Chain A
């Protein structure tokens, strides 16, 4: 399925699509307002971008430093070159701990590795504990947004789902009532789990510690009650110094949801007495992306989701239309690096307006990379309908005579041809757009009549 096909499915429910668009714009607006209360906002973005530049240019050294310090702190470090190895490492730890059920907090990386279905196939119960993630897990869906996983659902749908799964009152759609029902349900899961899995927001090379940010406190509830904490981390999540956290934590939540900081920001350095921390460092295509000079910058991403909230295409097509773990503008430059064929329509799901680059807290040139990917994809896949018409237009605009004749022909044709032909499926520009009314005469004709 391509992005346009999926997007048309999303747009069938027009009122919901409108709500989706407006709600994400509201989040974008909150981000704008809070960023303007920080006078040094642009300096912070520059700093964050430069720190990440330095990280990517020294990634090997920082990873070694990080590992050395983490080991010194008593953290057990594992390396996985791909999703398969990552999943196998996690399963092996769970088997060693004889653990039949785990709790997991938000981790885009484990989504990317499809850890849940893998563990379930191996007989392990996986409970996602972030409220939005638990909701989509009940529905057997992936998150549709990396920060707001259930943003594609309305409270009526969640009420129905909770009535079925958690025996809440039928028809009670109150978000507070539904959230507290989930709290009670998940509390039991937290108390029963021997192993908790989390993602990682930042790994600090200098200290060997890692930081996990949540608003719900679900990562910490899981980890501090369990005996074993498994933290899954993409290798690009490294930052050099502890003080760099000052820059990134000032940017992350403000960019993500327009709040000054997440309510819980936990720094894990050593396991508590008698407990274990395992850290899995995952490549899964990241070194390949690092090698692509034009797209290297995409690895700076701190997963705030600001580019999704601002994107006119994402807001109007929904996360699922991208068919990739990370949707939206950033997903559209990360995913083609993983599978060019499968994700070839994503870099075209953009107006290239550049709003994504403008809000990105680490200043990734997202819209420029989208444009670069289009060129790579066109080279690899040849021409399509739009490029044929561009070639035709090129010939017409080159010759004044051809331009005059075709202009006249088009004015007659557009007036007289049936709509079924003008808005034929071959004309992808005719979808969802109306042609302007055809003028009676050309500007040249009008000028001769009125001004000469």
Chain B
């Protein structure tokens, strides 16, 4: 008997009372989605910018390696997207479109089609996510409703920059991934 069969038959052999899978009810929702979302991002050590603030910030950067895969800011790339992510090790900035944001925790949903390369939001030194301010949902329950049964090979919620508190619980930003997260709310 294979291990698969052994494990499954061991489980089947255990007498268990059947337990109903509960429905997930609707919970009362927050009203001011934008304010709550901004507070959440700031709490996660990210920053929220308007389009104008973002453009000013971009203009203030010197010579930088930038890749923008954002449909809203297609002309900001200073280098081409390679096919091998190892070549992105010295990338300074990635600009990516997010699909929607979650107010309660600042999490932003992105899928493979937004990222182009799965490594992009992690290997870049700094990250910008562009988000439509109309695309905010109150909580994770509505977030999964929005994702629905769509199929993407890879999808993720990003809620802030890479961080750690593994040394004496002192918060440090920029552990392995992006050292900063800026969210541009359009």
Which residues of A come within 8 Å of B, CB atoms? Answer: 23, 26-27, 38-40, 43, 47, 50-51, 53-54, 56-60, 63-64, 73, 79-81, 85, 129-132, 135, 148-151, 154-155, 158, 175-176, 178-180, 182-183, 186-187, 190-191, 207, 215-218, 220-221, 223-225, 235, 240-247, 249-250, 257, 259-272, 281, 283, 287, 290-291, 296
Q: Kindly provide the distance from the CB of B167 to the nearest chain A CB, expressed in whole angstroms.
A: 4
Given known pairs A54-B22, A59-B11, the reply for A221 and B161 (CB within 8 Å) is no
Q: Is the interface of B mostly helix, strand, loop or mixed?
A: loop
Are B11's CB and A269's CB within 8 A?
A: no
Residues of A within 8 A of B165 (CB): 148, 257
Are A63's CB and B8's CB within 8 A?
A: yes
What is the count of residue pairs linking A and B with beta-carbon distances less than 8 angstroms?
237
Instruction: Name 16 extra pairs, CB < 8 A, besides A57-B19, A216-B164, A265-B159.
Output: A57-B17, A81-B7, A85-B3, A148-B165, A175-B170, A175-B172, A187-B89, A218-B176, A224-B122, A225-B85, A246-B24, A247-B141, A260-B44, A265-B157, A267-B156, A287-B14
**4 closest Cβ contacts across the A-B interface?**
A217-B177, A132-B166, A260-B105, A224-B119
Write out, one digit per residue, whether chain B residues 3-31 have a CB within 8 A of any chain A CB (1) or not (0).
11011101110101111111011011000
Are A81's CB and B6's CB within 8 A?
A: yes
The answer, yes or no, to whether B128 is at the interface (CB within 8 Å) is no
How distant is the Cα of A422 from the Cα of B57 in the complex, in angstroms?
73
- Return the chain B residue nearest A50 by Cβ: B22
Q: Kindly provide the distance from the CB of B157 to the nearest chain A CB, expressed in whole angstroms.
A: 4
Are A217's CB and B166's CB within 8 A?
A: no
The answer, yes or no, to whether B80 is at the interface (CB within 8 Å) is no
The answer, yes or no, to whether B174 is at the interface (CB within 8 Å) is yes
Are A263's CB and B158's CB within 8 A?
A: yes
Are A265's CB and B156's CB within 8 A?
A: yes
How distant is the Cα of A131 from the Cα of B122 in the complex, in angstroms?
16
How distant is the Cα of A186 from the Cα of B144 in the complex, in angstroms?
34
Write out, one digit per residue, whether chain B residues 131-175 have a CB within 8 A of any chain A CB (1) or not (0).
000000001110111010101111111111111111111101011
Which residues of B come within 8 Å of A, CB atoms? Answer: 2-4, 6-8, 10-12, 14, 16-22, 24-25, 27-28, 40, 43-44, 85-86, 89, 102, 104-107, 112, 117-119, 122-123, 139-141, 143-145, 147, 149, 151-170, 172, 174-178
Residues of A within 8 A of B17 (CB): 57
How distant is the Cα of A73 from the Cα of B102 in the complex, in angstroms?
27
Q: Is the interface of A mostly helix, strand, loop or mixed?
A: helix
Residues of B within 8 A of A224 (CB): 85, 117-119, 122-123
- Return the chain B residue nearest A82 by Cβ: B3
Q: Kindly provide the distance from the CB of A264 to the nearest chain B CB, expressed in whole angstroms.
A: 6
Are B43's CB and A260's CB within 8 A?
A: yes
Are A47's CB and B168's CB within 8 A?
A: no
Contact for B149 among A217, A242, A261, CB less than 8 A: A242
Residues of B within 8 A of A57 (CB): 16-19
Given known pairs A242-B144, A250-B139, the reply for A135 and B166 (CB within 8 Å) is yes
Are A266's CB and B156's CB within 8 A?
A: yes
Residues of B within 8 A of A178 (CB): 167
Are A81's CB and B140's CB within 8 A?
A: no
How distant is the Cα of A329 from the Cα of B166 in the complex, in angstroms?
22
Residues of B within 8 A of A216 (CB): 162-164, 175-177
Are B14's CB and A290's CB within 8 A?
A: yes
User: Which of A50, A243, A257, A263 has the most chain B CB atoms inside 10 A of its CB?
Assistant: A263
User: Which of B7, B18, B144, B149 has the most chain A CB atoms inside 10 A of its CB?
Assistant: B7
Contact for B159 among A54, A176, A262, A291, CB less than 8 A: A262
Are A79's CB and B158's CB within 8 A?
A: no
Q: Kindly provide the distance from the CB of B70 to the nearest chain A CB, expressed in whole angstroms.
A: 19
Are B144's CB and A131's CB within 8 A?
A: no
How distant is the Cα of A296 from the Cα of B11 in the complex, in angstroms?
12
Contact for A186 among B10, B85, B123, B176, CB less than 8 A: B176
Residues of A within 8 A of B25 (CB): 43
Residues of A within 8 A of B139 (CB): 246, 250
Residues of A within 8 A of B178 (CB): 217
- Return the chain B residue nearest A243 by Cβ: B144
Are B86's CB and A225's CB within 8 A?
A: yes
Are B7's CB and A235's CB within 8 A?
A: yes
Residues of B within 8 A of A242 (CB): 144, 147, 149
How distant is the Cα of A149 from the Cα of B166 in the complex, in angstroms?
7
Q: Kindly provide the distance from the CB of A39 to the nearest chain B CB, expressed in whole angstroms.
A: 7
Are A267's CB and B155's CB within 8 A?
A: yes
Contact for B175 among A38, A151, A215, A296, CB less than 8 A: A215
